[in-house]
Amino acid sequence: MSDTEKGGFIAKVIGPKRRWRAYQARVRQLPENYRTAVAAFERYLNYCGGLVDATSAESLLEDLADLFERAAADGTPIREIVGDDPVEFIRALVANYEAGGYIAWERERLINAIERAEGEDTGEEKGTVR
């Protein structure tokens, strides 16, 4: 995997550098264990993210920082935040941010195409392809 591919998610976030730097400053203020958890999620998103636009990526990271800031202030253990499966946690979080993106549009287009094809098999119109 090239450095360009590895940095794909973070490259999307860097768009407005001021926003990115503000996020980084917030994360640096977290207690070490929370900061380590956020860094692990950033790394995962960088390699496996699935977000397609910078605005969604920025919003997701800012909301992740909010979540960990509140948890640190309340003394909430990290496992109470992320549960038993951190991968499922971050996947569910990402799902909240990709709804308006290109991937979601393509998923809907695929579903509609299959429904249309199914309708053609039976002679019924079930949907249209955009």
In which region does residue 76 sit, left (phi positive, over 0), alpha (psi from -120 to 50) or beta (all else)?
Answer: beta
Beta carbons of 72 and 31 less than 8 angstroms apart: yes
Helices 32-48, 86-95: crossing angle, 10 deg rounding: 60
pLDDT score recorded for residue 1 = 47
Is the pLDDT assigned to residue 118 strictly greater than 60? yes
Q: Could you report the per-residue pLDDT of 32-76, keeping only the tens digit for each?
A: 999 999 999 999 988 887 666 777 888 899 999 999 999 999 999
- Ordered by start, the domain boundaries in the chain are 3-98, 100-130
Q: What token pair was written down for 10?
A: 């973070």
pLDDT score recorded for residue 123 = 53
Q: Could you report the per-residue pLDDT of 70-117, keeping only the tens digit for each?
A: 999 999 999 999 999 999 999 888 888 765 556 666 777 888 899 899
Helices 86-95, 54-74: crossing angle, 10 deg rounding: 130
The CATH number of the domain covering residues in 3-98: 1.10.1900.10
